Amino acid sequence: MTSPEPLGASPDEQRELRADAERNRERILAAARTLFAREGLGVSMAAVAREAGVGKATLSRRFATREDLITAVFADRMDAYADATDTALADPDPWRGFAGYVHAVCAMQAADRGFADVLTMTFPAAKPLEARRAQAYNGLLELIARAQASGHLRPEFSDRDMVILLMANAGVIAATGDAAPDTWQRLVGYMLRSFAAPGAELPTLPPPPQPRALYRAMVRLARPHQTADADKRPRHPA
Contact indicator for 25, 62 with CB cutoff of 8 Å: yes
Q: List the domain boundaries for the chain.
A: 11-62, 74-201
Q: What is the pLDDT of residues 134-171, one digit of tens each?
A: 889 999 999 999 999 999 999 999 999 999 999 999 99
The phi, psi pair for 112, rounded to 5°, reads: -155, 110
Confidence of residue 77 (pLDDT cuts 50, 70, 90): confident
| First vs last C-alpha separation in the chain | 55
Contact indicator for 125, 70 with CB cutoff of 8 Å: no
Which of 92, 117, 105 has its CA nearest to residue 167? 117
Alpha-carbon separation of residue 202 from 31, 99, 105, 150, 170 (angstroms): 40, 9, 17, 15, 23
Confidence of residue 178 (pLDDT cuts 50, 70, 90): confident
CATH 1.10.3470 fits 11-62, yes or no: no
pLDDT at 39: 85
Task: Report the predicted TM-score, pTM, of the whole model to 2 decimal places.
Answer: 0.77
Task: Compute the distance between CA of residue 13 and CA of residue 49 in angstroms, rounded to an integer.
Answer: 25
Task: Compute the distance between CA of residue 211 and CA of residue 233 in angstroms, rounded to an integer.
Answer: 33
- The crossing angle, in degrees rounded to 10, of helices 159-176 and 183-195 is 160
Specify the CATH superfamily of domain 74-201: Tetracycline Repressor, domain 2 (1.10.357.10)
Mean pLDDT of 24-31: 92
State whether the Cα torsion 216-209-178-191 is positive or negative: negative
Which of 143, 122, 117 has its CA nearest to residue 132? 122
Task: Compute the distance between CA of residue 118 and CA of residue 71 in angstroms, rounded to an integer.
Answer: 10
Whether 27 has a pLDDT exceeding 70, the answer reads: yes
Confidence of residue 75 (pLDDT cuts 50, 70, 90): confident
Q: What is the pLDDT of residues 185-225, one digit of tens each?
A: 999 999 999 999 999 999 899 999 999 999 999 998 887 65
Q: What is the pLDDT of residues 82-107, one digit of tens each?
A: 899 999 999 999 999 999 999 999 99
